[in-house]
Amino acid sequence: MNIIRVFFNVPAVTGKEQDYIAEVMAIQKLSGDGAFTKRCNQWLQENFACKRSLLTTSCTHALEMSAILAQIKEGDEVIMPSFTFVSTANAFVLRGAKIVFVDIRPDTMNIDEKLIEAAITTKTKAIIPVHYAGIGCEMDEILKIASRRNLFVIEDAAQGVMAKYKGKSLGTIGQLGCYSFHESKNYTCGEGGALLINQENFIQRAEIIREKGTNRQMFFQGLVDKYTWLDIGSSYLPSELNAAYLLAQLESAEEVNRKRLGFWNLYYQGLKPLEEKGLIELPHIPEYCEHNAHIFYIKVKDIEERSRVMDSLKENGISSTFHYIPLHSSLAGKKFGTFYGEDKYTTKESERILRLPMHYSLNDKMVEYVIEKVFDLFRYR
């Protein structure tokens, strides 16, 4: 039996990364907010039509900045799905908030917009939609709820770079949006992120928070004759080395997106017969969404079947994985949050998801091999 090794993820390399890093080293300006950081911010602003982009050290830090900008404080409540990464909750817990988890939709694995309003109390301050797998939440309804209740909408678009909801880039629809450029994402610099600001009134304070609470940016712009400590903040600036690597990726964003979508569609068409026989479920893309092929997953019967499939794929050289353990079931989730209503889908659906290899370095032969091995596993059924 010929085994083809298929890694679950390989960080993308598009061609100019080493050249750009060499430029940074030659200039000897390694700290943040140099020429490459500015070029990344400019690219994000121009391509996603946000008011301001601020590159950060991670999406986690972009979320933390959002929590400060929304003035989240002790006793506030923040609504989000439990099916998400811990940073979504941690950013607001750090400000003293209580997390209110609500159930997800089984079709998209996103927060169920129909359940949000009932979870709102007089203490609710913000809604955090998480765009799972780069598939947009039902943002129109979420924005209507937020407007009626005077709540912030902060998009966790960690997985959403180059994806859209009704023609709008994910991360640009709420007041604030957060991107990730971790090595597991479509576009990477190892560790990195960005805060997208969609309302002018947040820009100045965001720049101060990002610069350790100082008006250093205003000083460099010649707006003040010296800079000083004005506000709370931290060191949220990535190095120029990270920005240089990222710029090479952003400049090739269309090519990366096209290639990933090709692999995603190959998976989808190849595995469709198994779905038609009722053996697996494939991802659902609402007609109003343009996804970015961040994740390709299948849903199997239950957690036991998932373990069997993962083990069998591993024997054939294929790395696969599950995804989040719902936050409300964790020790910290129980301490800092509560689940509102019934957990009808969050736990059940999270235990069915199996993520297949998806990255820029795949090729058609690898994808077809994975499809073949998944078919082999379900022949007995």
pLDDT in tens, 228-283: 999 999 999 999 999 999 999 999 999 999 999 999 999 999 999 999 999 999 99
Looking at the fold, whether 263 and 246 belong to one and the same domain comes out as no
**Do residues 302 and 193 both lie within one domain?**
no
Beta strands in the chain (DSSP E): 52-56, 77-81, 98-102, 124-127, 152-156, 164-165, 168-169, 176-180, 193-197, 289-290, 296-299, 337-339, 353-356
Q: Contact at 8 Å (CB) between 353 and 299?
A: yes
pLDDT of amino acid 28: 86
Q: Residue type at 69?
A: L
* 284 and 142 within one domain: no
CATH of the domain at 210: 3.40.640.10
Looking at the structure, do residues 188 and 319 belong to the same domain, yes or no? no
Q: Which of the listed residues 251, 269, 298 is the one where a domain comes to its end?
A: 251
Name the domain boundary from 251, 275, 298. Answer: 251
Over range 149-172, report the average pLDDT: 98
Residue 1 domain flag: no
Residue 5 in any domain: the answer is no
pLDDT of residue 360: 97
Q: For 113-127, what is each residue's pLDDT tens digit?
A: 999 999 999 999 999
CA 105 – CA 268 distance, rounded (Å)? 20
For residue 192, the model assigns a pLDDT of 98
For residue 316, what pLDDT is reported? Answer: 97
The single-letter DSSP state of residue 239 is P
Residue 44 lies in a domain: yes
Instruction: Calculate mean pLDDT across residues 14-25.
Output: 97
pLDDT, averaged across the chain = 96
Looking at the chain, the whole-number percentage of residues with pLDDT higher than 70 is 99
- Looking at the fold, whether 185 and 66 belong to one and the same domain comes out as yes
Which of 193, 216, 251 is the last residue in one of the domains?
251
Domain tally, the chain: 2
For residue 295, the enclosing domain spans 253-378
Give the Cα separation of 265 and 176 in Å (integer). 31
CATH of the domain at 275: 3.90.1150.10
The answer to whether residues 139 and 257 belong to one domain is no
The span from the CA of 253 to the CA of 169, in Å, is 14
Q: What does the pLDDT average to over 72-88?
A: 98
Is residue 153 situated within a structural domain? yes
**pLDDT at position 218:** 80
Same domain, 151 and 129: yes
* Same-domain pairing of 284 and 220: no
pLDDT greater than 90 at residue 217: no
The pLDDT of residue 82: 98
Residue 225 pLDDT level (bands cut at 50, 70, 90): confident
pTM of the model: 0.96
Instruction: Give the span between the Cα atoms of 306 and 299, in whole angstroms.
Output: 8
